[in-house]
Amino acid sequence: MAILNILRYPDPRLHKVARPVTQFDNRLAKLVQDMAETMYEAPGVGLAASQVDVHEQLVVIDITETKDALQVFINPEITWSSEDKQVYDEGCLSVPGIYDGVERPSKVRVKALDLEGKPFELEAEGLLAVCIQHEMDHLLGKVFVEYLSPLKRNRIKSKMLKEKAGIEREAALRAAGRRY
């Protein structure tokens, strides 16, 4: 088991389009384990492989408070979405500290494969519907801030870049400290 590094917006790698999974092997099982561990540790309710720099169509979700109901979606496809929409205050592990309203279909049907490569289909509403759509956007290289106004997005981008500079500065100071 391992905690994976989560890419932070505006990292260009977050905009790569994921390719379908074709091999249902031990490497895939291990990746799912590591993604689940990374999501729980963060903590978050979902994680797309794109966020850990693996550009394959793989998503893990657990929306329970008890964190004991992991859902794995491989090569997911939305087969139906409702006409009615809901606005949900979204956050993202790749954009820490930022929350804003995003409007999406309130219900979706999703078809996907499980870890064994077996197809399943389910209908989701509420937070699960939001999460599935948010994660599937990641697989297409899309981050939720792209639904916000250019003004808000640019403010978020600046804030993230400032934080990144701060993090890198602290890391450099820590490294220097170890040398003296």
Annotated active-site positions, please? 135
Position 107 contacts ligand GNR (CB under 6 A): no
Contact string 86-105 vs ligand GNR (x = CB under 6 A): --x-xxxxx-----------
Name which of 116, 141, 114 is nearest 16 in CA terms.
141
Write out the two tokens for 110.
């999703």
Q: What is the closest distance, in whole angstroms, from the C-beta atom of residue 139 to ligand GNR in the complex? A: 10
Instruction: Out of 21, 135, 136, 156, name the contact with ligand GNR by CB under 6 A.
Output: 135
CB of 177 vs ligand GNR, minimal distance in Å: 32
> Cβ closer to ligand GNR: 96 or 117?
96
Q: What is the nearest approach in angstroms of Ni ion to the Cβ of residue 180?
A: 39
- Give whichever of 24 and 53 is closer to Ni ion, judged by the CB atom: 53
Report the chain's terminal Cα–Cα distance, integer Å: 34
48 binds ligand GNR (CB under 6 A): yes
Check binding of 138 to ligand GNR (CB under 6 A).
Answer: yes
Among the residue ranges 29-37, 44-52, 73-81, 153-161, the one whose residues contact ligand GNR (CB under 6 A): 44-52
Question: Nearest-CA neighbor of 47 among 157, 132, 160?
Answer: 132
Give the 3-state secondary structure percentages of the chain, helix then strand then coil, rounded to 5: 40, 25, 35
SS3 91: coil
- Residue 87, φ and ψ in degrees, nearest 5: -100, 130
The amino acid occupying position 120 is F
DSSP state of 131: H
The rounded distance, in Å, linking the Cα atoms of 133 and 78 is: 9
Please tell me whether residue 8 binds ligand GNR under the rule CB under 6 A: no
Question: Which residues here bind ligand GNR, judged by CB under 6 A?
Answer: 44-48, 51, 88, 90-94, 130-131, 134-135, 138
